[in-house]
Amino acid sequence: MINAYEYFKNHPKFNKLVGNDFLFVEYKCPLNIEEYQLWIENHLITYVISGKKDWITSKKTHNLIAGDSLFVKKGVYTTKQYLESDYCVMLFFINDKFIKRFIRENPSFKRELNHKKEYNQIFDITTNDSFKTLIESIFHYLKQKDEIPKELVEIKFKELLFNIVINSKNKELLHFFNSIAQNTKTNIENLMIENFQYDLKIVDYAKLCGKSLSSFKREFKECFNTTPSRWLINKRLEHSKALLLGTDLTVSEIGYECGFKNNSHFIQAFKKKVNVTPNKFKAFKKEG
Choose one of 181, 214, 241: the last residue of a domain.
181
CA–CA separation, 182 and 78 (whole Å): 30
pLDDT tens digits, 28-65: 876 556 678 889 999 999 999 998 889 988 788 999 99
> Does 40 lie in the same domain as 177?
yes
Residue 53 within any structural domain of the chain = yes
- Looking at residue 214, which CATH number applies to its domain? 1.10.10.60
Rounded average pLDDT over 157-176: 95
Query: Concatenated DSSP letters for 247-260?
Result: ----HHHHHHHTT-
Residue 252 within any structural domain of the chain = yes
Residue 186: pLDDT band by 50, 70, 90 thresholds? low
> Does 223 lie in the same domain as 137?
no
Q: Are 79 and 36 in contact (CB under 8 A)?
A: yes
Query: What is the CA angle 10-16-20, rounded to 5?
Result: 75
- Looking at residue 75, which CATH number applies to its domain? 2.60.120.810
> Does 18 lie in the same domain as 135?
yes
Residue 281 within any structural domain of the chain = yes
Residue 175 within any structural domain of the chain = yes
> Does 177 lie in the same domain as 275?
no
Q: Which domain holds residue 263?
A: 197-288
Rounded average pLDDT over 230-249: 92
The string over 2-40, giving b where at least 16 C-beta atoms fall within 10 Å of a residue's C-beta and e elsewhere, is ebbbeebeeeeebebbebebbbbbbbebeeeeeeeeebb
> Does 117 lie in the same domain as 74?
yes
> Does 177 lie in the same domain as 99?
yes
> Does 94 lie in the same domain as 231?
no
Residue 188 within any structural domain of the chain = no
> Does 144 lie in the same domain as 238?
no
Residue 189 within any structural domain of the chain = no
> Does 258 lie in the same domain as 172?
no
Domain count across the chain: 2
State the pairing for strand pair 43-50/87-94: antiparallel
> Does 172 lie in the same domain as 250?
no
> Does 165 lie in the same domain as 121?
yes
Q: Look at residues 124, 15, 13 and name the one whose alpha carbon lies nearest to residue 68.
A: 124
Q: Are 51 and 14 in contact (CB under 8 A)?
A: no
Q: Are 223 and 233 in contact (CB under 8 A)?
A: no
Ramachandran category for residue 112: left, alpha or beta (phi over 0 → left; psi -120 to 50 → alpha): beta
> Does 10 lie in the same domain as 136?
yes
Residue 121 within any structural domain of the chain = yes
Query: What is the CA angle 23-28-31, rounded to 5?
Result: 140
State the pairing for strand pair 15-18/75-81: unpaired
CA–CA separation, 280 and 288 (whole Å): 12
CA–CA separation, 208 and 142 (whole Å): 27
202 Cβ partners below 8 Å, 6+ apart?
213, 216, 217, 228, 229
Q: Look at residues 71, 73, 25, 33 and name the one whose alpha carbon lies nearest to residue 53.
A: 33
pLDDT tens digits, 82-137: 876 788 889 999 999 999 999 999 999 999 887 677 788 999 999 999 999 998 88
